[in-house]
Structure 1
Amino acid sequence: MFDGCALFLGAQGSIPFRMEKAKTLMAGDVVVTWQHRWHRRTAWLCLALGMVACGSAPPEERLRQQFSAMQSAVEQKRVGDFMAGVSDEFTGSGGMDRGALHNLLRVSTLGQASVGVTTGPLDVHVQGEDATVKFPVLLTGGSGRLLPQQAQTYQVTTGWRMEDGEWRVHYAHWDAPH
């Protein structure tokens, strides 16, 4: 009726077993059973596999993750987090540099109670350590009530480079449709 596993688990949960365990722990002895070693080894294995899995993500997937993180940063008005994904050598529409982009984002987010960024499908092309991402975007802003007070659509083309193992935007061009 009972298999060995059920008996084993039942014995560990029994009152005499727990009392003996408590006595051992109070005496200061360290008891390492094969179960503890197995759990520890399994945890290390899972951690190692997780690190390998993170490091081996395809470049396009890592770029999409960076894009998503930067989009979330703007929506949450965390301009510094967004700017961490922008290259020091950034150039944008109308000759904008990194400092001007930072100031534009600060003014835009501070002037609105809520900011929305809705992108259309991303057209991603990765070539080695360079990439291009094209997408439509709807930017909204307002008081945070049901409907935004401001909305504008743009067609955006961005250029990305791998810098210090991270994807960073090094140029952006945007046009408002006529």
Structure 2
Amino acid sequence: MSNHLRGWLLVALALCLALAGCAREQDEAALREAVSSLETAIEQRDASAVEDALTPDFIGPDGLDRDGARRLAALVFLRHREVAVRPGPLTVEMGDGHARVDFSAVVTGGAGRALPEAARIYGVRTAWRVEDGEWRLVSAEWSPGV
């Protein structure tokens, strides 16, 4: 193989790697935006928007399904006039059309008061996948005391 051809192949390979890196960065940015949109839906007390962020086969703690998650969100919104989510830094692991996002979070109600049943920092582990071009939440687990 000539040096000229080898040079072109190296340039083409570098370009492909750069484009793949850009696509991964765009996917991660879109995923982070989906996480942020879910946070906004919670803070706006919009149970329907919370449900829309979940896949039809969503599964949460103790077998919580998509409808159960919507009902749980609606109950929290009825009990607390204001709800805010304060997530810590996101740890993102990207796959091909799926991802895992882990973080810690504090949920507050009212003017910064911690919700009675959520008075601790929670460790949250979520799984996401792309459906119809959008990131949607497949599963979520949370546990107190991280």
Q: Normalised by the size of structure 2, how large is the TM-score?
A: 0.77
SS of the counterpart of 1:58?
Answer: helix
Q: 2:78 aligns with which of 90, 95, 110?
A: 110
How does the TM-score come out when normalised to structure 1? 0.64
Verify the 8 A CA contact 1:140 1:152 in the aligned structure 2. no
Structure 2 counterpart of 1:148, which letter?
Answer: R
After TM superposition, list the pairs within 5 Å mapping 1:1-178 onto structure 2: 58-141=26-109, 144=110, 146-148=111-113, 150=115, 151-177=119-145
For residues 119-176 of structure 1, the C-alpha deviation after alignment (integer angstroms, 9 at most, x for no partner) is: 00000111110100000000111xx3x4415233210000001111110001111111
Mean alpha-carbon deviation: is it higher for 56-65 or for 152-161? 56-65
Structure 2 distance, partners of 1:66, 1:131, is 12
1:99 Cα offset (Å): 1.1
- Structure 2 gaps, min length 5: 1-22
- The 1-side partners of 2:94 and 2:50 are apart by 21
Which consecutive unaligned segments of at least 5 residues does structure 1 have? 1-55
SS at match of 1:94: helix
- How many percent of aligned residue pairs carry the same amino acid? 33
Runs of 4 or more, structure 1, over 6 Å off, are none
- In 2, Cα distance between equivalents of 1:99 and 1:163: 18
Q: Which of the pair has more CA radius of gyration? A: 1
In 1, Cα distance between equivalents of 2:82 and 2:113? 8
The one-letter code of the counterpart of 1:102 is R
Counterpart code for 2:30: R
CA-to-aligned-CA distance 1:97-136 (integer Å, 9 cap, x gap): 1111111100001111110100000001111101000000
Distance 2:39 2:114 in 1: 20
Number of aligned pairs? 120
Between the aligned partners of 1:140 and 1:100, the Cα distance in structure 2 is 21
Q: 2:84 touches 2:107 (CA, 8 Å); kept in 1? A: yes
Q: Contact 2:51–2:67 (CA<8 Å) still a contact in 1? A: no
**Of the two structures, which has the highest relative contact order with CA contacts closer than 8 Å and spacing of 6 or more?**
2
Cα distance between partner residues in 2 of 1:161 and 1:149:
31
